[in-house]
Structure 1
Amino acid sequence: MPTLTELMEEELRGFGESSARYLIRLRSSANCRDIVRELQATGRSPANQVEALPLINAVFLHLQSPKAFLNHPQVEGVEPDHPLAVIQEKATRLSPGEIRRQASFTRNKPFIPWGIRHIQAPLAWKTATGREIRIGVIDTGVDFAHPDLRDSIAGGINLIHRHLPPLDDNGHGTHISGTIAAGAGQGMSGVAPHAKLYAVKAFDHNGTSFVTDIVKGIDWCVTHGIHIINMSFGMKSYSPALEAAVRNAAKEGVIIIASSGNEGKKGIIDYPARFPTAIAVGATGRNGKIAHFTNRSTQIDIYAPGERIVSTWLNGKYQELSGTSMATSHISGVAALMMAVKPGIGLSSLLAGLQRSAMPISSTARKAGFLGEVNAIRAIRAVARKKPRTPGSRAGAQASAARMPISRR
């Protein structure tokens, strides 16, 4: 039987228009880095055609057909590199004056969008603002020059173009970042205004990506001691590789928070929110009820405001968006507040605190599952009652790390 390296080399020789993106997950008897090094030594591993994914011990490769790998003793599984998309419902462009009026803007003070006021985040700021908590935003990048984000952004990586910084060319990532941790200056304030943001650009200007890019983004976050990963995107297809990445990150103590999706479906939500080691977020509207567009099922862990959310946008501007993406960014901010008062808190304790402190949502739906909307001040009180444990995870162990530069690897 040919070795894995020989099979992959053969596929690279036949690379062409008929080749498609695949992920080959390996058993413990094989090492993805060693295999890619062997391919590079042959001179048959062109850029963007083969790459190691050490977090899940897998190799990304363009294949004409996966058949030769399916029964290989060193292969755990083979799957297509599924596409994903960021999740948003609709956008309304607003002038700065309109936004400030909506947000009850007060001269020389930060304006606070309705969702952040609704979950009572400002009441929590006397106790916690997210200081020293690092949040990875796997998205379209961020507007580094935005006045409300300049002091919040601490680093990141561009996985689409490694030689470039993770600048946002779509807007979605900038919007998400503002809700999470816009700085408390004279512009907008996010839920956790002193948390540090790390822009992990895995989506292009159209808001599209692949599982491979997300796995690489999660790996980067784990390696760089990120505490929370915001995943405001989704896919319908199940990916064993993506689940393995989310599961392995959770084992390292990283909290992953993901959007349920915007199709208004009942009984089903998107991946990765559907994975058991991710916190699944649904959206509520300004009327305090479950938003009409949110996917909902018994797998939803918590709800948050997601309708007509004002946040930061490209070129120093602001924009109003709706979607479970926006709800997810509220939860990531609240999670940062909770971690600030209880460093090293794990997934189960954090989720229990979110749910135990949530405000009830009325619903006539049968088997709707958990129906609670996040409340920031109640959430930090719920976890502050217990004595914090010493951080034991890789993320917790690096809790005092300073700003890190833009990464290219």
Structure 2
Amino acid sequence: MPTLTELMEEELRGFGESSARYLIRLRSSSDCREIVRGLREPGGCPAHQVEALPFINAVFLQLQSPEAFLHHPEVEGVERDETLAVIQDKATRLSPGEIRRQASFARSKPFIPWGIRHIQAPLAWKAATGQEIRIGVIDTGVDFSHPDLRDSIAGGINLIHRHLPPLDDNGHGTHISGTIAAGAGQGMSGVAPHAKLYAVKAFDHNGTSFVTDIVKGIDWCVNHGIHIINMSFGMKSYSPSLETAVRNAAKEGVVIIASSGNEGKKGIIDYPARFPNTIAVGATGRNGKIAGFTNRSTQIDIYAPGERIVSTWLNGKYQELSGTSMATSHVSGVAALMMAIKPGISLSTLLSGLQRSAMPISSTARKAGFLGEINAIRAVRAVSRKKQRSSHVRARVQASAGPAARIPISSR
């Protein structure tokens, strides 16, 4: 039987238009970095055709014949590098003046969107504002120049174009970032206004990405001491590589919060929200009931406002969007408030606090097994009363967080 390197070299020699993106997951006895090093020796393949992903011990490769690798003794599995998409429904773009005119609380400063007020986040700010908590937003990037986000953004990386900063060319990432942690001031305020945001641009201007880019984004977050990862995107098919990345991040104490999807399906939700090591989020509407567009299932861990959510947008503007993406950003903000109160909190304790403090959606929903809607002040109080700590996570947070240091825009 040919060696794994020989098989890869043969595939790369036949690289052409018929090639497709694949991930080859290796058994623990093999080292993906060594294999890629050998392939890139003088006269070897170009870097864009093959890449090591040590976080999940896999090799990204352009293949024409994936079947040749399926039964190799060094290979754990082979999967196509599938696409993912951000989850959103666009509505009317709003100017700052229009926002204030439409809001019933127009005279309040800073501007607080209805969802943030509905979950009672302002009441929690006396106890915590997300200080010293780092949140990675794996999305389309962020508008660094937006006046409501300038003080909140502390770093990031562009995984699409490594030589460029993670600037948003779609709008979705900027909208998510605003709900999570827009800075308290004269503009909009997010759920955790003093948390620090890290823009991990893994999605292009169309809002699409590949599993490989998400894996690299999770890896970057783990390596840079991120405490919470917001994943407002989804895919329908199962990816072992993505689940491995999520599981490895959870082992390092990172809390991952993900959207359930917007198809209005019953009994099923999107990946990565379906993975057991994430907090899966569904959406509620302005009426406090489960939104018609949200996927719903007993696999959903918590619900949050996701209908007609106003948040920051490109070029210093604001936009109103609906979706489980918007609900997810509310939960990421509340998780930051809870972590600020209790830096050593584990995923299980945090999720328990969210669920125990949730507000009932309806008696019918409860009987069907659907949990409640997030409530910030109750969640903060719940975790304040919880004394038990996870020593593993506490040690990681104390070592990595410090006083919310800035991580420069990264190219690796």
- Code of the residue aligned with 2:139 in structure 1: it is D
Residue in 2 aligned with 1:10? 10
Residue in 1 aligned with 2:399? 397
- Code of the residue aligned with 2:106 in structure 1: it is F
1:359-405 CA-to-partner distances (Å, cap 9, x unmatched) read 01115359732320000000011011123645445455211151110
Alignment partner of 1:130 is 2:133: no
Greater CA deviation, 97-106 or 288-297? 97-106
Greater CA deviation, 2-11 or 267-276? 2-11
Contact 2:365 2:371 in 1 (8 A): no
Contact 1:281 1:300 in 2 (8 A): yes
Cα displacement (A) at 1:32: 1.0
Structure 1 unmatched ranges of 5 or more: none
What SS does structure 1 have at the residue aligned with 2:9?
helix
Matches of 2:84 and 2:285 in 1, distance apart?
Answer: 25
Distance of aligned partners of 1:393 and 1:203 in 2 relative to their CA distance in 1, 3 Å threshold: farther
Cα displacement (A) at 1:305: 0.1
Matches of 1:197 and 1:388 in 2, distance apart?
Answer: 28
- Code of the residue aligned with 1:6 in structure 2: it is E
Matches of 1:376 and 1:386 in 2, distance apart?
Answer: 15
Alignment partner of 1:331 is 2:325: no
Cα displacement (A) at 1:93: 1.1
State the superposition RMSD in angstroms: 1.4
Equivalent residues in 2 for 1:93-242 (5 A)? Answer: 93-103=93-103, 104-106=105-107, 109-242=109-242
Residue in 2 aligned with 1:321? 321
Contact 1:297 1:368 in 2 (8 A): no
1:205-233 CA-to-partner distances (Å, cap 9, x unmatched) read 00000100000000000011100000000
Alignment partner of 1:262 is 2:262: yes
1:82-116 CA-to-partner distances (Å, cap 9, x unmatched) read 10000012321112212123342337x21000000
Contact 1:168 1:314 in 2 (8 A): yes
- TM-score by length of structure 2 reads 0.97
Cα displacement (A) at 1:38: 1.2
- TM-score by length of structure 1 reads 0.97
Matches of 1:384 and 1:236 in 2, distance apart?
Answer: 37
Contact 1:225 1:396 in 2 (8 A): no
Matches of 1:258 and 1:218 in 2, distance apart?
Answer: 13
Cα displacement (A) at 1:49: 1.5
Cα displacement (A) at 1:43: 3.3
What SS does structure 1 have at the residue aligned with 2:319?
strand
Alignment partner of 1:406 is 2:406: no
Matched length: 408
Contact 1:102 1:113 in 2 (8 A): no
Matches of 1:363 and 1:295 in 2, distance apart?
Answer: 19
Matches of 1:35 and 1:370 in 2, distance apart?
Answer: 47
1:182-212 CA-to-partner distances (Å, cap 9, x unmatched) read 0001100000000000000000000000100
Residue in 2 aligned with 1:381? 381
What SS does structure 2 have at the residue aligned with 1:359?
coil
Matches of 1:57 and 1:138 in 2, distance apart?
Answer: 21
Contact 1:11 1:63 in 2 (8 A): yes
Residue in 1 aligned with 2:83? 83
What SS does structure 1 have at the residue aligned with 2:205?
coil
Residue in 2 aligned with 1:32? 32
Matches of 1:328 and 1:269 in 2, distance apart?
Answer: 14
Contact 1:343 1:388 in 2 (8 A): no
Matches of 1:257 and 1:337 in 2, distance apart?
Answer: 14
Residue in 2 aligned with 1:272? 272
What SS does structure 2 have at the residue aligned with 1:258?
strand
What SS does structure 1 have at the residue aligned with 2:60?
strand
Matches of 2:396 and 2:75 in 1, distance apart?
Answer: 29
- Code of the residue aligned with 1:371 in structure 2: it is L
- Code of the residue aligned with 1:229 in structure 2: it is I
- Code of the residue aligned with 2:296 in structure 1: it is R
Residue in 2 aligned with 1:250? 250
Residue in 2 aligned with 1:64? 64
Matches of 1:342 and 1:183 in 2, distance apart?
Answer: 21
Matches of 1:211 and 1:71 in 2, distance apart?
Answer: 23
Contact 1:344 1:388 in 2 (8 A): no
- Code of the residue aligned with 2:43 in structure 1: it is G
Cα displacement (A) at 1:67: 1.1
- Code of the residue aligned with 1:35 in structure 2: it is I
Residue in 2 aligned with 1:343? 343
Cα displacement (A) at 1:9: 1.3
What SS does structure 2 have at the residue aligned with 1:41?
coil
Contact 2:343 2:397 in 1 (8 A): no
Distance of aligned partners of 1:408 and 1:402 in 2 relative to their CA distance in 1, 3 Å threshold: same
Matches of 2:224 and 2:87 in 1, distance apart?
Answer: 26
Cα displacement (A) at 1:36: 1.1
Structure 2 unmatched ranges of 5 or more: none
What SS does structure 2 have at the residue aligned with 1:76?
strand
Greater CA deviation, 5-14 or 387-396? 387-396
Cα displacement (A) at 1:33: 1.1
- Code of the residue aligned with 1:65 in structure 2: it is S
